[in-house]
Structure 1
Amino acid sequence: MNKKLGMKDYVFVGSMLFGLFFGAGNLIFPVHMGQLAGQNVFWANIGFLITGIGLPFLGVIAMGVSNSASVYDLSSRVNKHYAKLFTILLYLVIGPFFALPRLATTSYEIGIAPLVSSGNQRLALALFSIAFFALAWFYSKKPSKIIVYVGKVLNPIFLLTLGVLLVLAFINPIGSVSDMPVQASYQTQAFSNGFLEGYNTLDALAALAFGVVIISTLRNMGVTKPKDIAVDTIRSGVLSMVLMGVIYSLLAYMGAKSLGAFEISENGGIALAQLSHYYLGQGGSLLLALIVISACLKTAIGLVTSFSETFIELFPSRSYAFFIAVASILPAVFANVGLTNIIDFSIPVLMFIYPLAMVLIILTLINPLFKGYQSVYFWTTAFTLLAATVDALNASLWREAAWIQWIVNAADQVLPLFQYGMGWLLPAILGFFVGYAIAVTRRHHTQVQFT
């Protein structure tokens, strides 16, 4: 029997979705962007919101309307072999290699490091990482309880504590945004830099993973009809994304105002620690520790759960218990390289996989317009893959190599928007038309139809 959800149900599911999304990057990147943008924070924030909440919302909708059971199922519209590689890479990025260790490191650097002497930082980070992922592992053992752990417990704690800091920052501002300096990269490209900064939240990638969690949660609540699942997913997503947009904007403006008393920090975690201490002294450090640990722990639970549920489908010879152990142990190790290093290492990978995820999401949403031709999925993705590879090389640690410079310079000459990190857009459009032309000229072609 199909259940009709009430407003209370939507609030709980929306709260869970917000809780899953809003983790480490969601706290630190808007603040740091605000510091860099200064008085241009408005346009930087608009760009950030497009990739920070617009694309994740489209990802959640795509999972809902396509009635896909997993990221692998959705990306199989391109090609079965591609789907497996894409799914593995996506979950490694939002799982043990980047997003998960960043959650622990951000929690430590913002909430714990200010309370630890300089000589004991390494040991304290190691011990904290072990404790953090031990908790994430424990709460991931029962994925059916995630709505309780995240939506009804950790998320309300996070919102209440963060609300205290935001209210103080806007009641007693350090300075006026209109007086704040603008860094060189944000003087003429505030919007595009904000757009690219939104990549760092990883939320467009996480949307594909968390969309599956939402669908599973709705089914557990008694919603069984595909149409109702799609509608309820969208309604819950609206509540979550509106709340995220408001908090992102407040954090960005708080970062811009902070320049009235502080220099631009190495990362947003340091800026948040400075601001909390400025307003509440030692008590501010304790409050911020509670804010960031609750924020990051709830997202870690969601990521460990979704990583493990996906990998058990891809590799059924292993158990769910095995994968939650892997998803907890590996990031506990990687967390010890430091927040700034994790961010630096992740950028080229994000520049590669983000365009692929965005193209998949957009094609899924407009599937009826091109009759679901499989060749459209394939060729659009193939053309995007080439451009995304160049973007990744341009952002890599080896970008000064002569052969990479030659490729980058050539791409800059022929690809519009390449200098803004969106050189994949024209190839994606060309691939779409190539795929469509191939489909309509064939006598037999494969179509992807949604139920």
Structure 2
Amino acid sequence: MNDLNEPQTGIKKYFVIASLLFGLFFGAGNLIFPIHLGQMAGSHWLVATLGFLTASVLMPLLAILVISKSNASGIRDLGNPAGTKFALLFMILVQVTIGPLYATPRVATVSFAVGIKPLLGGQHSQLALLIYSALFFAVAFYFANRESTIIDTVGKIMNPLFLILLATLFVLAMLNPMGNPNLEAGQANFGNGTYFKGFLEGYNTLDMLAGLVFGGAVVNSVREMGYRKKRDVERITSLSGILTFLLTGLIYVGLILLGAMSLGKEQIAAEGGTTLVQIVRHLMGEPGQLFLAALIILACLTTAIGLLTSFAEDFHRSFSKLSYRAWLTISTVASFGVANIGLEKLIRWSVPILMFLYPIVIVLVLLGLTVYDAPAAKQLYRGTLLLTIVPALLDFVVKLPKQISGSAFGQAIANIQSHLPFYDIGLTWIIPSIIGFLISWIYYMLRYRKIGLTK
């Protein structure tokens, strides 16, 4: 094992960090959502893929680039130009939602449902989930509690094993194709607005939120390797991020193709986990379930380590009275509890929160890349975010459980939302965000030029 206090030289460091970043990113959703998209799209898979890659590769890459550019240590740093209170609240919402209330317990339950439950034949599944999730989170806690070894654990061991297994699946699928993706009929009417349907499906991977969550952890890992200069950290993080998402994009294309090809033998499944089981069993028979269990557990375990680590780092940085280990314990125990007693109910509430957060995240990333250090940053951030939050709140209400979204209040909100531009493709926040940016810029130029504060 290399001494992490001695900077690695040559191109090796980029691949080590890229492997770490990929391992943290690529979890259960990254396997099952693109496969499900391929099934729904059928012969329209190529256009759907372009939309999916925009949301799940390009946008997360921009998130990593803005983290490296600003030399941020966490999500909170990115929101600071809009105000410290906003930055703190935003960090809490993102970390709690993508952490113990949704994504972290999800990696345990999905890996159990896809990898372990089929081996049990449906017997004692609740008890089995309890035991499995306890072991799963114990292992994740063990590695997350050793921050200085996360590069070696995830980047040099777990992720290469996962990639070997995934490459094996792709090779078998190409040697024994289930169908022709260009000839298979997907979901009815999927050909209408295919690109934007693919784009919105890319939301489900949570990759852009993960980009902000894991970006800080990766920057800290680069520093652990011995790099302290801002220029070095930015260069290594950026180039490693590009390598990561080139690989991620290629894998997504392969998975979407697998989903589309599977229509030659299988019907469209309700979700991608079922499709993945069908594909593996077709290619490998019943023993393939053991292969699938290893594949998905590795994918989910590396993501769980990253989510637990980033949650503990961000909360310890903001609420330092509790130690990193204390916050890590809180996140681990909460995730274990949610995975066993309330995930389905919490998902109904977490999804609306994610739909609220995503537009804000996209706007923060774009602002961070363009005006983070600009003299007008404060005004531009506040004005743009204000007019982004309004349609995002409307989307939040419309996505709430039926008790609220189906009420008279919910229906009234849905009616208002339906009159906004791009409602039909689910992107009602775009025009208000642009208007907010322009108004803020004009206000800044008119007011501060008069008193000589701009060039």
Q: Report the more deviating stretch, 368-377 or 277-286.
A: 368-377
CA distance in 1, matches of 2:256, 2:348: 21
Q: Among residues 395, 414, 417, which one is paired with 1:408 in the alignment? A: 414
Per-residue CA deviations over 1:402-423 (Å, capped at 9, x if unaligned) read 222222222221x211221111
C-alpha displacement of 1:2: 10
Would you say 1:248 and 2:252 are equivalent positions?
A: yes
Partner of 1:208: 212
Q: Which runs of 5+ in 2 are unaligned?
A: none
Q: Among residues 59, 63, 69, which one is paired with 1:65 in the alignment? A: 69
Partner of 1:440: 445
Cα 1:12–1:307, aligned 2, differ >3 Å: closer, same or farther?
same
Q: Report the more deviating stretch, 267-276 or 403-412.
A: 403-412
**TM-score, length of structure 1 as denominator length:** 0.94
Partner of 1:260: 264
Q: Which runs of 5+ in 1 are unaligned?
A: none
Q: Report the more deviating stretch, 396-405 or 48-57.
A: 396-405
CA distance in 1, matches of 2:342, 2:292: 19
Cα 1:219–1:370, aligned 2, differ >3 Å: closer, same or farther?
closer
Q: Is 1:267–1:340's contact at 8 Å kept on the other side of the alignment?
A: no
Partner of 2:163: 159
Q: Report the more deviating stretch, 367-376 or 15-24.
A: 367-376
Q: Is 1:3–1:224's contact at 8 Å kept on the other side of the alignment?
A: no
Would you say 1:301 and 2:305 are equivalent positions?
A: yes
CA distance in 2, matches of 1:368, 1:142: 33
Partner of 1:428: 433
Q: Among residues 381, 386, 389, which one is paired with 2:390 in the alignment? A: 386
Partner of 1:310: 314
**TM-score, length of structure 2 as denominator length:** 0.93
Q: Is 1:44–1:195's contact at 8 Å kept on the other side of the alignment?
A: yes
CA distance in 2, matches of 1:175, 1:251: 14
CA distance in 2, matches of 1:440, 1:3: 45
Cα 1:5–1:237, aligned 2, differ >3 Å: closer, same or farther?
farther
Please state whether the residue corresponding to 1:76 is helix, strand or coil.
Answer: helix
Partner of 1:358: 362
Matched to 1:416, the amino acid is P
Would you say 1:186 and 2:190 are equivalent positions?
A: yes
Would you say 1:419 and 2:424 are equivalent positions?
A: yes
Corresponding pairs, count: 445
Q: Is 1:4–1:223's contact at 8 Å kept on the other side of the alignment?
A: no
Q: Report the more deviating stretch, 404-413 or 39-48.
A: 404-413
Identity, % of aligned pairs? 39
Cα 1:32–1:340, aligned 2, differ >3 Å: closer, same or farther?
farther
Matched to 1:241, the amino acid is F
Q: RMSD between aligned alpha carbons?
A: 2.0
Cα 1:2–1:437, aligned 2, differ >3 Å: closer, same or farther?
farther
Cα 1:338–1:32, aligned 2, differ >3 Å: closer, same or farther?
farther
CA distance in 2, matches of 1:330, 1:237: 30
CA distance in 1, matches of 2:263, 2:372: 49
Partner of 1:283: 287
Cα 1:339–1:419, aligned 2, differ >3 Å: closer, same or farther?
farther
Q: Among residues 97, 104, 111, which one is paired with 1:100 in the alignment? A: 104
Cα 1:372–1:143, aligned 2, differ >3 Å: closer, same or farther?
farther
Matched to 2:181, the amino acid is V
Q: Is 2:353–2:396's contact at 8 Å kept on the other side of the alignment?
A: yes
Would you say 1:269 and 2:289 are equivalent positions?
A: no
- Superposition map of 1:50-89 within 5 A: 50-89=54-93
